[in-house]
């Protein structure tokens, strides 16, 4: 797949995140996909392996932060790797606001995402809007 096509795929993947469209998201994922989260007990955060586990983890993002958005995305690709930089925003359960830059490192196999490795700045939440 050309770098241009990979960039278009990454952009469409980001758009699906912002629509909270789990079926569209999973259509980009390889059957052997892995998702490494921004937080967790291990050096890589938490690892979810396989379509069912990745789907459940993706859905949990919207359950935890129902207004989650990934804004101002900048995407690029080379070979079988891609990057999406964005600003993550949302409202935590206590009403505080989350706004932090993040990066998804993506690895592709057969035109599908085999690995989504997410990183986000560890910034304190902002006060709730009054």
d(CA 90, CA 123): 13
Give the side-chain half-sphere CA count within 13 A for 53.
Answer: 14
d(CA 128, CA 20): 23
Per residue in 10-46, pLDDT (tens digit) is 999 999 999 999 999 999 999 999 999 999 999 989 9
d(CA 107, CA 99): 26
Per residue in 47-83, pLDDT (tens digit) is 999 999 999 999 999 999 999 999 999 999 999 999 9
Task: Tell me what percent of the chain is helix, strand and coil, each rounded to the nearest 5.
Answer: 30, 45, 30
pTM of the full structure: 0.92
User: What is the token pair recorded at 124?
Assistant: 């304190």
Sign of CA dihedral 9, 12, 14, 20: negative
Contacts of 130 (CB under 8 A, 6+ apart): none
Q: What is the pLDDT of residue 130?
A: 67
Contacts of 15 (CB under 8 A, 6+ apart): none
Per residue in 83-125, pLDDT (tens digit) is 999 999 999 989 999 999 999 999 999 999 999 999 999 888 8
Q: What is the pLDDT of residue 123?
A: 85
């Amino acid at each position: 797949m050309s770098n241009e096509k990979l960039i278009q795929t990454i952009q469409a993947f980001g758009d699906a995140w912002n629509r909270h469209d789990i079926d569209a998201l999973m259509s980009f994922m390889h059957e052997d996909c892995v998702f490494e989260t921004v937080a967790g007990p291990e050096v890589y955060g938490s690892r979810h392996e396989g379509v069912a586990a990745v789907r459940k983890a993706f859905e949990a993002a919207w359950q935890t932060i129902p207004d989650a958005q990934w804004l101002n995305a900048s995407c690029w690709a080379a070979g079988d790797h891609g990057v999406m930089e964005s600003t993550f925003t949302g409202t935590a359960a206590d009403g505080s606001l989350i706004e932090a830059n993040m990066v998804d490192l993506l690895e592709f196999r057969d035109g599908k995402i085999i690995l989504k490795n997410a990183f986000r700045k560890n910034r304190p939440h902002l006060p709730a809007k009054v």
